Chains A and B, each alone.
Chain A
């Protein structure tokens, strides 16, 4: 018991010590990639016809005329002070301000998308697994493949055309109605803030605006959960304890929902955490498709402007979140699952 406890402590420590290394690797790769990509940020900012003197002045002002190694050391020293820099496009807005302005919208969209994905994926996966080798099972498989293969942009546009333009059921292109004041609260997550203020109308409005983007995101990633639930549930349903339950005459629906699904969901929860972390930075297509004012949309804009500090800062931010979440999940798994060796 003691040796297991020590080993676990050592494992946690080693995982935590790996985190800075992972983050440093991410930041260095991003720094080098930005410099290796063709296209000069000064050209992107000033345009091709700006006077050469103006371009040189801006290059000097931004420190882009320094040797690469000095730029890198500058960047690292700022990073160590948690200074992610300022946008060179807007000339004044810090990366932390950008994160503060846009990250809540991304978190909200990601959480809602993930909720949709979990509900749809687990439901379809469970139904498919409960009827193995039937058309329902085949339908579940097809659903998994289709959602995985459907392009986000195309699916988002179809939903927009049907549900916003044709049916006019849902709005697009905004997080909250232009003419209304959004919920004002500490989290800047409109759903949470409206709940904290007990404002049902604002909560409903926020949800209404979240509907199409989160459905798009959720349905398209639900295939991952569907496949995992289907495979795991099928295995679990063949387990001895399930056969014993059947022998005792427990109804099939109860066996699935109460006994089998719980065990089948363990790996799904791991995937859920990792998907959440990677989705924070991976919602670019959804945000761009729906003009969602999130961080991923802003990130896309920064790339096209060659806004080095913003791209580097946001990549570092996203990379850190993914690294930390994956470490937390590793540690949790190690605690929960005795089969994991460390």
Chain B
């Protein structure tokens, strides 16, 4: 064996041939790298169609069941709603309605006049019957977002060919904003049915600027609707590729395989694309977002059953260090659960607890009986799949334990998403890092889900209601009263004051600690224009041109 291996016959020949192959391979590699980048991948649309990539999933396109961001974006572009926002603003304007609704004095009846001459994608005419059917179906079919309307609307009736009347169960000031929700869009009664669980997940017929050309879990194609009643799209269609990971999306966009990359890239990938944007191959479009991220504190169990401990943790959170380390500056520190996009936003946590104030935190800890002999120990939980929340949790742990050494010990824990949310609702975790994607653009949607509790008491805390789902189990009669008042109040200035009071309630009781507000990023290849994210987080595909 050793003779053959080390002997004089095979060894030099082997060496020669191996050397030959390595040289040829190396030469090829060098040539390939040197010549690389010249060829354009063929996936980019060469005509007026736009190739877009995303990692977001479209579970369904049925407007009565779609409750996630991406189906929402698709439906927003495939359908129309009674009201919408003027592009680039937060101004509510009529879309399929002809004017803003007429509201009865008691705030319960909304009369809406509708646009004439609109046709659906199947050629049928749009009228009040179609709209009433679509709203009724939205409420009755038991889809995910059904509760948004079914909890508010008593009846929906076509009171004329082009007049719709909604009667509410109780006054709800944000109804017009709620009617901009993507699912409140007309569908033809001939093609859709009303009935529990009667959905068409892979199909859509509506009135919007695009028609659905094809739908699958990996590719979705939209064609411009030539018969659209409104502004015709600036492109011939959108071809959407769904990727299974941010890395695939990033690599494909960088290799020139996409015109537009939208959601969701990791902070490192966003930073890399931003750094290299000045080479002219792509443009970065940055927009504010209404997605709020927070820490939920469970008041049912120790240590957050103690108000002083909750206040202490609120004072020891360093939002700037989170933004720097976890997001590389791609987020905004948040000091209220009502995001900065609203005029009523007040940075109440900054005013009350400072922008991290360890001295104040120590005082609250002392009031709670926390000493070095009896340190505070608590767990922060987050979903396993969230890499950013992992960094946030560990950043919090490191900054708190460094600055309050001996006084506070933080344990970072993780659970798979479905398990985590099941346990949050059961009240198993003391604190959880969570986020909130709003359903509609109104401050109501940033207070109701966090503070309302339909069953409970100060003693038992929340036993049934939104705060249970959020894992805080917060119960406050004052908060419930203020929520009911703002919901019914039609006078905007009075309502704004109520939102300010609600933010004060939040800062006084600390059921949650607001942490950061996301920024939204879109990347557009050179030669692609009209790419923008709207203030209400919608992505208007019909504005994209190339």
User: B10 and A131: CB pair below 8 A?
Assistant: yes
0/1 per residue, B414-426, Cβ < 8 Å to A?
0111110111110
A169 close to chain B: CB less than 8 A: yes
CA distance A179 to B20 in the complex (A): 42
Give the CA-CA distance A165 to B269 in the complex, in Å.
14
A161 to B252, CA, bound (A): 10
Chain A residue numbers with a CB within 8 Å of B57 are: 301
A39 and B419 form a contact (CB under 8 A): yes
Min C-beta distance of B36 to chain A, whole Å: 4
Instruction: Indicate if B81 sits at the interface (CB-CB under 8 A).
Output: no
In angstroms, Cα B4 to Cα A133, docked, is 7
Q: Indicate which residue in B18, B38, B219, B422 contacts A43 across the interface (CB closer than 8 Å).
A: B422
When the two chains form their complex, are residues B144 and A306 in contact, meaning their CB atoms are under 8 A apart? no
In angstroms, Cα B252 to Cα A289, docked, is 12
Which B residue's beta carbon lies closest to that of A209? B43
Contact with B along A169-212 (1 / 0, CB 8 A): 10111110111100000000000000000000000010000000
Q: Which A residues between 273 and 300 are near B, CB-CB below 8 angstroms? A: 287-291, 293, 297-298, 300
Query: B216, A179: Cβ atoms under 8 Å?
Result: no
Binary contact readout B252-284 vs A (1 if CB under 8 angstroms, 0 otherwise): 101111000000000000000000000000000
- Is the CB–CB distance between B255 and A168 below 8 Å? yes
| In contact, B59 and A90 (Cβ under 8 angstroms) | yes
Closest chain A CB from B424 CB (angstroms): 6
Q: How far is the CB of B17 from chain A (nearest CB, A)?
A: 9
CB distance from A293 to the nearest CB of B (A): 4
Q: Which of B194-202, B329-337, B503-511, B519-527 contacts A (4 or more CB under 8 A)?
A: B194-202
Question: Inside 8 A of A289's CB, which chain B residues have their CB?
Answer: 244-245, 248
A45–B197 CA distance with the chains assembled, in angstroms: 14
B248 close to A291 (CB less than 8 A): yes
Question: In the complex the two chains form, what is the Cα distance from A43 to B5 in whole Å?
Answer: 64
CB proximity of B191 to chain A, nearest CB, Å: 14
B53 at the interface (CB under 8 A from A): yes
- From A92, A136, A290, A305, B199 is in contact (CB under 8 Å) with A92
- Cross-chain contact of A40 among B44, B418, B470 (Cβ < 8 A): B418
With a cutoff of 8 Å between Cβ atoms, the chain B residues found around residue A157 in the complex are 247
Does A61 lie at the interface of the complex (its beta carbon under 8 Å from any beta carbon of B)? yes
Q: Is the CB of A171 within 8 A of B42?
A: yes
Chain A residues 33-49 with CB under 8 Å of chain B are 38-41, 43-49
Complex interface: chain B residues within 8 A of A179 (CB): 42-47, 49, 51, 239
Please measure, in the bound complex, the distance between the C-alpha atom of A167 and the C-alpha atom of B11, giving whole angstroms. 35
Q: Bound state CA distance, A288 and B385, in angstroms? A: 15
Establish whether residues A168 and B201, one from each chain, have CB atoms under 8 Å apart when the complex forms. Answer: no
Given known A-B contacts A135-B5, A168-B255, A173 and B241 have beta carbons under 8 A apart: yes
**B147:A50 contact, CB within 8 angstroms:** yes
* Residues on the B chain within 8 Å of A39, using CB: 416-419, 422
Contact B144 A168 (CB under 8 A): no
Cβ-defined contact, A287 with B4, below 8 A = no
Smallest Cβ distance from A213 to chain B, in angstroms?
11
Residues of B134-149 at the interface with A, using a CB-CB cut-off of 8 Å, are 142-144, 146-147
Is there a chain B Cβ closer than 8 Å to A336's Cβ? no
Q: Does B129 contact A (CB under 8 A)?
A: no
B182 at the interface (CB under 8 A from A): no
Nearest-neighbor residue (CB-CB) of B197 within chain A: A61
A contact residues around B219 at 8 Å (CB): 174, 178, 293
Decide if B469 touches A168 in the complex (CB within 8 Å). no
Q: Contact partner of B243 among A38, A168, A171, A173, CB < 8 A?
A: A173
A133-166 CB mask vs B (1 if < 8 Å, else 0) is 1111000000000000000000001001100111
Q: Is B373 positioned at the interface, with any CB of A under 8 Å from its CB?
A: no
CA distance A52 to B423 in the complex (A): 14
In the complex, the answer to whether A48 meets B241 with C-beta atoms within 8 Å is no
Question: Using an 8 Å CB-CB cutoff, how does the interface string of A300-328 with B read, 1 for contact, 0 for none?
Answer: 11001110000000000000000000000
Contact A168 B37 (CB under 8 A): yes
- The answer to whether A171 and B67 have CB atoms under 8 Å apart is no
- A46: B residues at CB distance < 8 A: 144
Q: A91 on the interface (CB 8 Å rule)?
A: yes
Q: Are A48 and B425 in contact (CB under 8 A)?
A: yes
Indicate which residue in A136, A172, A180 contacts B251 across the interface (CB closer than 8 Å).
A172
B202 touches A90 (CB 8 A): yes
Whether B216 and A91, one on each chain, are in contact in the complex, defined by CB atoms closer than 8 angstroms, is no
A93 within 8 A of B: yes
A51's contact among B147, B470, B471, by CB below 8 Å, is which? B147
**Are the CB atoms of A164 and B418 closer together than 8 Å?**
no
Q: How far is the CA of A53 from the CA of B469 in the complex (A)?
A: 12
B385-425 interface mask toward A, CB cutoff 8 Å, 1 = contact, 0 = none?
A: 10000000000000000000000000000011111011111
Nearest residue in B to A46 (C-beta to C-beta)?
B144
A99 interface residue, CB < 8 Å from B?
no
Judged by a CB distance under 8 angstroms, whether B102 is at the interface is no
Interface check B1, CB cutoff 8 A: yes
Question: What B residues does A172 contact at CB under 8 A?
Answer: 248, 251-252, 255, 257
Q: Is the CB of A90 within 8 A of B251?
A: no
> A38 is contacted by which of B143, B200, B418 (Cβ under 8 Å)?
B418
Residues of chain A contacted by B143 (CB below 8 angstroms): 91
Q: Known A38-B418, A177-B43; judge A291-B202 contact (CB<8 A).
A: no
Pick the residue among A167, A171, A290 that contacts B257 (CB under 8 A): A171
Residue contact A173 to B256, C-beta cutoff 8 Å: no
A112 vs B311: C-alpha distance when bound (angstroms): 60
- For B33, list chain A residues within 8 Å (CB): 166-167
Whether a CB of chain B sits under 8 angstroms from the CB of A58 is yes
Q: Is the pair B202, A304 in contact by a Cβ cutoff of 8 Å? A: no
Q: Least Cβ distance of B365 to chain A in Å?
A: 30
A305 to B418 Cα, complex, angstroms? 8
Q: Give Cα A54 to B44, complex, Å.
A: 43
CB–CB B248/A44 < 8 A: no
CA A205 to CA B41, docked complex, whole Å: 11
Partner of B14, one of A41, A134, A160, A175: A134
**Does A7 interact with chain B (Cβ within 8 Å)?**
no
The reply to whether B421 and A48 contact each other, CB–CB distance below 8 Å, is yes
B227-253: which residues lie under 8 A (CB-CB) from chain A? Answer: 239, 241-245, 247-249, 251-252
Q: Is the CB of A133 within 8 A of B1?
A: yes
- Answer yes or no: A32 CB below 8 A from chain B CBs: no
Whether the pair B424, A48 counts as a contact (CB closer than 8 A) is: yes
Q: Tell which of A53, A133, A157, A174 has the most Cβ of chain B within 10 Å.
A: A174
Interface flag for A101 (CB, 8 Å): yes
B60 touches A48 (CB 8 A): no
Residues of chain A lying within 8 A (CB to CB) of residue B18:
135
Instruction: Tell yes or no: A26 within 8 A of B by CB.
Output: no
**A157-B248 Cα distance, complex, nearest whole Å:** 9
Complex CA–CA separation, A297 to B218 (angstroms): 10
Shortest 9 CB-CB contacts between residues of A and residues of B: A39-B418, A293-B218, A48-B421, A38-B419, A167-B36, A44-B418, A90-B201, A178-B239, A49-B469
Apart from A168-B256, A305-B59: 16 A-B pairs, beta carbons within 8 A = A43-B421, A45-B144, A47-B67, A54-B144, A58-B142, A90-B202, A91-B65, A92-B202, A160-B247, A164-B252, A166-B33, A166-B36, A168-B38, A171-B41, A171-B43, A293-B217
Q: Give me 18 A-to-B residue pairs in the complex whose CB atoms sit less than 8 angstroms apart, sorted by A's number.
A: A38-B419, A44-B417, A45-B144, A47-B144, A57-B142, A61-B142, A61-B197, A90-B202, A92-B199, A93-B201, A131-B14, A135-B5, A169-B39, A171-B41, A171-B252, A178-B43, A289-B244, A293-B218
